[in-house]
Amino acid sequence: MAEKALYGAVALVTGASSGIGAATARRLAQDGASVALLARRRERLLQVADDIVGIGGEAHVIKADITEPGGASAAVQDTLDRFGRLDILVNNAGVMLLGTALHTRIEEWDRMVALNVAGLLHMTHAAVPYLIDAAATSPREVADIVNIGSTAARTARPGNSVYSLTKAGLSSFTESLRQELLTEQVRVSLVEPGTVATELMDQLSEAAGDVACWQMDGTEPLRAHDVADAIGYIVTRERRVAVNELLLRSGAHNW
């Protein structure tokens, strides 16, 4: 039997309790990686871990709040304590709270910045030294950071101003980080999905949800496993190949 592409590699996936994060964790496990699952909902993480074990994989559950630097650092250390290395970081955790400047509470804007921006920065800062070490010691001779952005970084729409702000900033951060880590053999990639059928939509207010449904009327959204497949493709490329950016839209999506 051929060796799986990620055999011996260790991945840490944030926001792994549902949606894109859970689907990505399962996909990376199928490709042979041991996976650290990070989120706030331990019960949901345990369900994903059971799924991975059921397909012959190895998973480790980490409940943490990455909006605090200490939470992110502890999560990376927990991964190292369990698996001994870190080869892949998928920065997926995020929240989308839509609303206009007139009607949105400032706490909702702060929540998006705290998780979508600060949380990602905390995880990246904590993980980079170990990813560099993994690239130098792995048979694959490469490590990966995959950041999950959004088409909202490209197309701003009424009600998504701060969400678009967080994702547009992520795009620039990813490109700068990619250049910084080139010589360290750590690939940095950005995946920008359009609308995906996940729990992210469930967090919207009734009014914002109605607007989102109207915008997607007649369009079948992406599924979480569609995005997971894209991430799996990126991190299983041989060392000479770097997929810097991957834009995913529903086949009928016009923005």
HSE of 123, CA atoms in CB hemisphere, 13 A: 31
Active-site residue (options: 7, 130, 163, 233): 163
Hey, is 12 helix, strand or coil?
A: strand
Is 13:45 a contact under the CB 8 Å cutoff? no
Match 């250390």 to its residue by tokens: 77
Q: Measure the CA–CA gap between 75 and 64, rounded to whole angstroms.
A: 7
Q: Which of 120, 146, 117, 142 is nearest to 132 (CA)?
A: 142
Amino acid occupying residue 189 = S
For 63, how many CA atoms within 13 A lie in the half-sphere containing its CB? 7
Residue 130 is a catalytic residue: no
What one-character-per-residue DSSP string does 125-185 give? HHHHHHHHHHHHHSTT--EEEEEE--GGGTS--TT-HHHHHHHHHHHHHHHHHHHHTGGGT
How wide is the angle at C-alpha 93 spanned by C-alphas 91 and 231, nearest 5°? 45
Kindly state the greatest CA–CA separation across the chain: 60
Tell me the three state secondary structure of residue 242. coil
Helix ranges restricted to H, the chain: 19-30, 42-54, 69-83, 106-112, 120-137, 161-180, 206-215, 224-235
Active site residues: 163
